[in-house]
Amino acid sequence: MSSRVLNSTLIAAAAAVVLGAPVLAQQAQPAKAAAVKTSTAIPRTADGHPDLSGVYSNVTTVPMARPANCGTKEFYTAEDIAAGMGGARGCAQPGAAQAGGRGGAGGRGAAGRGGANIDPETGQPALAVHYDTAQFGLSGATMVRSSSMRTSIITGPDGKLPPQTAEAQKRAADFRAWNAIHQWDGPETRPVGERCLTWPSEGPPMMSEGYNANVQIVQGDGFVGILQEMIHDARMIPTTGGTTALPNDVHQWFGTSRGHWEGDKLVVETTNYTERTQIQNTRTSYQLKVTEKFSRVDADHILYEFTVDDPGTWTKPWSGEVTWSKIDSPIYEYACHEGNYGMANNLSGQRAVEAKAAAGQK
């Protein structure tokens, strides 16, 4: 089903329960501090809860894992940026070797070239860490993203994923062995992303896609609907605790989500994932539980926090946070599977390889 159809379904389902409170559509303004400051000037629904409704961009240039040379440093300072830190250099001083590993990846921004990270509009050192993503067409004034001083999306002193359990390592090794033989058996054995069923960044936790990284929230009495532009999936989340949990042997691509309010923060807990759910390119276990927290910090931003708890995959829970920026744009259709000629071409090519091999054996 296309995202436009799902979008219509989501809005239609929520229309009967949506509570007034118009939402302003403004672009994000650069943050002026290391952490997002909570503001009381936020839109609210008739029942007093923060109104989360709107379309948001969750684009961020903060790496998932902290650059190794940043140690336990969670936030850059304005002085750090002026000194040339950030970007591919991480916390290194100007002229030092670039940070290694995936945690330090992010391209070569102004800070990554040894000079201060200069805001092109003001000519002054920018208070946000900007990585150069021009090779993906993601840099420039057309991209709406919240400025952030974070050194990594993953929070806490480690700033990186915890080690995998022995169970997870064996599960990955078993899959690699199976996949080496069976990956071309048929459509069902191809990756779920190639089949347009789900992508790891869809979550939950919901991570930035880099492009088409937009999320729509529709809020009503007792429910919140969340639609992601890429690939095309929607969740209807009860916000009053919801119905009883699904039986342990019932699993869904995106799990089952139930929410509740803790003061002004919407807390959503998701369980009952499939064994093929992936987070950070890692296959998780049936024990996976993701807790999301949504906070409307002002008229233009939502602070999105998440905690991943899967004792069958990682040795301890880990958490992260990203600030979403409100945008004045609808969610557009992301037609992934329509015209997916690559699937038929790949499989027919493999059948031809097998036929040629069989003919050679005769």
Is residue 65 situated within a structural domain? Answer: no
Q: What is the pLDDT of residues 42-69, one digit of tens each?
A: 899 988 999 999 999 988 888 899 999 9
Q: Report the pLDDT value the prediction gives residue 143, as an integer from 0 to 100.
A: 58
Per-residue pLDDT band at 157 (split at 50, 70, 90): very high
Q: Report the pLDDT value the prediction gives residue 122, as an integer from 0 to 100.
A: 44
Structural domain that includes position 175: 1-60+160-362
Same-domain pairing of 126 and 178? no
pTM equals 0.75
Residue with the larger pLDDT of the pair 90 and 106: 90
Is residue 66 situated within a structural domain? Answer: no
Same-domain pairing of 344 and 259? yes
| pLDDT at residue 299 tops 70 | yes
How far is it, in rounded angstroms, from Cα 93 to Cα 80? 9
- Tell me, what CATH number does 228's domain have? 2.40.128.20
Same-domain pairing of 105 and 252? no
Same-domain pairing of 90 and 200? no
Residue with the larger pLDDT of the pair 185 and 20: 185
Same-domain pairing of 137 and 180? no
Same-domain pairing of 37 and 139? no
Same-domain pairing of 1 and 145? no
- Nearest Cα to Cα of residue 162 among 323, 291, 287, 320: 320
Q: What is the mean pLDDT of residues 101-117?
A: 33
Q: Report the pLDDT value the prediction gives residue 145, as an integer from 0 to 100.
A: 65
Per-residue pLDDT band at 81 (split at 50, 70, 90): confident
Reported as type and span, the H/E element at residue 53 is none
Is residue 249 situated within a structural domain? Answer: yes
- Mean pLDDT (the chain, rounded): 77
Is residue 27 situated within a structural domain? Answer: yes
Same-domain pairing of 241 and 196? yes
The residue among 152, 184, 209 that closes a domain is: 152
Is residue 236 situated within a structural domain? Answer: yes
The residue among 152, 177, 205 that closes a domain is: 152
Is residue 343 situated within a structural domain? Answer: yes
Is residue 86 situated within a structural domain? Answer: yes
Same-domain pairing of 131 and 210? no
Per-residue pLDDT band at 193 (split at 50, 70, 90): confident
Same-domain pairing of 233 and 184? yes
Q: What is the pLDDT of residues 223-267, one digit of tens each?
A: 999 999 888 788 999 998 666 678 888 888 888 899 999 999 999
Task: Report phi then psi at 103, rounded to 5.
Answer: -65, -25
Q: Report the pLDDT value the prediction gives residue 104, as an integer from 0 to 100.
A: 32
State how far the alpha carbon of 195 is from the alpha carbons of 129, 181, 339, 351, in Å. Answer: 35, 19, 12, 18
The residue among 100, 134, 152 that closes a domain is: 152
Is residue 68 situated within a structural domain? Answer: no
Domain count, the chain: 2
Same-domain pairing of 148 and 164? no
Same-domain pairing of 188 and 312? yes
CB 110 within 8 A of CB 134: no
